[in-house]
Structure 1
Amino acid sequence: MIVDRVLRSAVSVLPRRLRVDRRSALVGLVALRPHLGLAGLGTATALLLARRRRAAAVAGGLGALAAGPALRRLVPHTPAARPQGPELTVLVANVLLGRADPVALAATIVDRRPDVVVLPEAGAAFLGAVLPRSTGYRGWSSVPPGVEDRHGTVVLVSPRAGDVDVRPGRGTRLPHLEVTGGLLGLRTLYAVHTSAPTNPRWTRMWADELALLGRWTRTRPAPLVAGDLNAVADHRRLRDALGGCVDAADGTGDDLVGTYPSSLPRWAGIRIDHVLVPRGSATRRHEVLDIAGSDHRAVLVTVRLPEDQPR
């Protein structure tokens, strides 16, 4: 069941020419591209040991083709110039329909002191459970009381975040929140949970929502986007949506650490939980954290942002 869920939730974007990115039944192979690549390289090694050189060459070539882009993302790199903007810490944790342990999560928040916390699959009920335990934080839900947690996204902000404005956003199936002001300056942080491409209708919504995300990332100054995007770095639609942003995991060596499902080892999962930051940002910290009661792992990043630019 887990394998089926991962496969169906991950492959909607093979190359455009193959015309499969509109079929939810094929949404899985792209997300598993690094795994398939490593499997091909392993098969090539076994064939080589068995003296089957021609078959080994074919398997090795296919494995290298599949794994190459992922392996390139593991190479550490730093910005050409040191950013001069503020430093910001963001925590993203999908709380599984509001079923994650609010006590354990609040303990993590108090211990790590992120400036902004984004909790997909949380609403007013989960906010009411986690906020009183997160000393000093303020919180907002994208859905009103009475709406199930699975439909919402919660944002918490620390005192250090300053005088922020949090407002509901439009354009996504699951209501999102937009955070501006305070430590963010002129930038907007979008707290989002895109549709999971597990059936044809939701696959179309997923594609439309990533296209909307791409419009956000092409504004100035470039925003931050944090949440469960239900897409991996190998998905073309996510790459197209980056605009003036990059993934905070790029160049950290953590690009292949899986955030979903948490029941699998980190090397075996897929990374669908992201913090996208403006190009020119410098990631000082990137951690993947276990969250009690959730089927996702959390992502904690600290980045130094570029200076604001006029809109």
Structure 2
Amino acid sequence: MRTLLAAAAGAAAAAVVLPDRLGLDRRHPFTALGALRPHTTAVATVAAGVLAAARHTRPAGLAVGAVALAGAAGLVSRAVPHLPPGGDADLTVLAANVWDGRADAGALAALIARECPDLVSLPESGREYRDKLMPLLDGLGYRSWVSNEPGRPDGWSVTLLVAGRMGDVEVGSGPELRRQHLWARGGLLGNRRFHAVHPQAPMARRQARVWSGDMDSIARWCAALPAPIVAGDFNATLDHAPMRRALNGVRDAAEGTGRGLTGTYHAALPRWAGLRIDHVLVPREARTTRYEVIDLPGSDHRAVLVGMQWPEAA
């Protein structure tokens, strides 16, 4: 009986803490559980201690504890910095979800004016928000593109800003993602593409299927040569298998910074309690010189600012 209880407890804990290892994280509600791995690991650790305290439930406690240990093993390296001190960046990227155009345009403009990012990805920014933001950046040399046609809600759109120093870039879009994305190439990017993205949030069964397809499309882009730069709100963490599969030729810019567990959503939560679903993916050979998570007034997301050295320089 104790063996049966231990097996059941271990299986239940694995489904909650490690749904990606069981191939469940493409399905709702396991997509949400995948995003919550730091939280479910902590809960499983406490549950293991409680179960192990009583003799008749000790085997179950050991089984749940083993699952908690496996969950923790994938988290520790993200919180430990192992990059050398940063240097001058060849390229700076800002990704900031502006929450259906509700983010404080003045605060975002001040951030852009202060940091001068070369490329800016603004999920949930349509024409109305772009038209509020751009006059505040007058004189700074930024050009802007919006993914959706006039009249569509901000939440369905992405805005791309490109600094003047990037040169003559070509900008386009495509049907690969449900929420239309934007890409840029040329100028200082050369043949390398920059993608501004916002995959579907997997909040229900059908949405999880769409999200899974969106992530597969991003994985195909990331397998291209030269490797692209992809920035935005992915609605995914590194504890989702589809997100990890996208890291083919690219890596998360937070890797090695010790900030791989810093939450970007929801902004009302402490950084240690939030979900890190906003990312900048960079070519694997590129070196991260700067990684910051920045509060953005009026948004439910925090912004991500990344400086990198080009692969050739790195």
Structure-2-length-normalised TM-score: 0.85
SS in 1 for 2:231: strand
Partner of 2:123 in structure 1?
A: 120
Equivalent position of 2:244 in the other structure: 239
Is the CA contact (8 Å cut-off) linking 2:32 and 2:203 kept in structure 1? no
- Paired with 2:119 and 2:158, the residues of 1 have a C-alpha distance of 13
Taking the aligned partners of 2:50 and 2:163, their CA distance within structure 1 comes to 53
Q: List aligned pairs for 1:272-283, cutoff 5 A.
A: 272-283=277-288
Q: What residue is the counterpart of 2:27 in the other structure? A: 23
Taking a change above 3 Å as real, the CA distance of residues 59 and 203 of structure 1, as seen in their structure-2 partners, is closer
Give, in whole Å, the separation in 1 of the partners of 2:38 and 2:20: 16
Gaps of 5+ in 1: 1-10
Identity of aligned residues (%): 48
* Residues 179 and 256 of structure 1: CA distance in aligned 2, closer, same or farther (over 3 Å): same
State the structure with more CA Rg.
Answer: 2
Matching residue of 2:12:
none
Q: Does 1:227 align with 2:227?
A: no
Instruction: Give the aligned partner of residue 103 of structure 1.
Output: 106
| Cα distance, 1:222 vs structure 2 | 0.5
Query: Higher mean Cα deviation, 140-149 or 278-287?
Result: 140-149
* Structure 2 counterpart SS, 1:90: strand
Match of 1:298 in 2: 303
Question: SS where residue 72 of structure 1 aligns?
Answer: helix
Distance 2:178 2:149 in 1: 15
Per-residue CA deviation, residues 267-295 of structure 1 (Å, 9 max, x unaligned), is 00111101001111110100001111111
Q: Does 1:35 align with 2:26?
A: no
Give the match's secondary structure for 1:24. Answer: coil
- Which residue identity lines up with residue 174 of structure 1 in the other structure? R
Q: TM-score, normalised by structure 1?
A: 0.86
1:195 aligns with 2:200: yes
Aligned to 2:232, the other structure's residue is in SS state strand
CA distance in 2, matches of 1:67, 1:287: 24
Letter of the structure 2 residue corresponding to residue 114 of structure 1: P
- Partner amino acid for 1:229? F
How far did 1:138 drift?
Answer: 1.1
Alignment of 1:50-199 (within 5 A): 54=58, 60-78=65-83, 87-134=90-137, 135-199=140-204
Q: Which amino acid aligns with 1:196?
A: A
1:255 corresponds, among 260, 267, 288, to 260
Q: Which amino acid aligns with 2:27?
A: R
Task: Provide the rounded CA distance (Å) in 2 between the counterparts of 1:179 and 1:195.
Answer: 21
- Which stretches in structure 2 are left out of the alignment for 5+ residues? 1-15
Amino acid corresponding to residue 76 of structure 1 in structure 2: P
* Whole-angstrom CA distance in 2 between matches of 1:104 and 1:285: 21
The CA deviation at 1:62 is 3.3
Matching residue's letter, 2:115 = R
Query: How many residues were matched structurally?
Result: 293
Is contact 1:14–1:236 with CA below 8 Å preserved after alignment?
A: no
Following superposition, the deviation at residue 76 of structure 1 comes to: 2.9
Q: 1:204 aligns with which of 199, 209, 212?
A: 209
Report if the CA contact (8 A) 1:95-1:119 is conserved.
Answer: yes
Q: Secondary structure at the match of 2:32?
A: coil
Q: Structure 1 residue 289 and structure 2 residue 291: aligned?
A: no
Contact 1:31 1:270 in 2 (8 A): yes
Rounded to whole Å, the distance in 2 between the matches of 1:115 and 1:285 is 14
Contact kept, 8 Å, 1:22 with 1:200, in 2: the verdict is no
**CA separation of 1:157/1:184 partners in 2, compared to 1, >3 Å: closer, same or farther?**
same
Q: Give yes or no for contact 2:25–2:240 (8 Å, CA) kept in 1.
A: no
Displacement of 1:60 in angstroms is: 4.3
* Distance in 1 separating the partners of 2:48 and 2:168: 57
SS of residue matched to 2:219: helix
Letter in 1 for 2:171: V
